[in-house]
Amino acid sequence: LKNAWCGFYDYNYFDQNLIIGPHPQQKNFIFANGSSGHGLQHAPAIGRAISEYMTDFKYKSIDLSRFGFQRIVNNTPIFEPMIV
């Protein structure tokens, strides 16, 4: 063995998309996970969105509410029409 790499791969089995925003029942819990291999690229935008939500109770820069946990509770997955 000459080289190896390992790491945590965050994955959402429900619809393979990000989960972001408040928990529908726990007031002090905010999701920011499920980005799969895109977490590093999404991190600056996710950080901004969470900070906006924590200070203003809404997203200001871009509306990410469709990626909230409530879609899992409601069983309404978001599927991308094409993944390259």
Question: Count of domains in the chain?
Answer: 1
How far is it, in rounded angstroms, from Cα 82 to Cα 84? 6
Residue 46 lies in a domain: yes
Residue 8 lies in a domain: no
pLDDT tens digits, 48-82? 999 999 999 999 999 999 999 999 999 999 988 76
Residue 13 lies in a domain: no
Residue 81 lies in a domain: no
pTM over 0.85: no
pLDDT tens digits, 4-55? 766 677 778 898 889 999 999 998 999 998 887 777 888 899 999 999 999 9
Residue 80 lies in a domain: no
Expressed as residue numbers, the domain containing 69 is 19-73
Q: Are 7 and 51 in contact (CB under 8 A)?
A: no
Residue 29 lies in a domain: yes
Residue 61 lies in a domain: yes
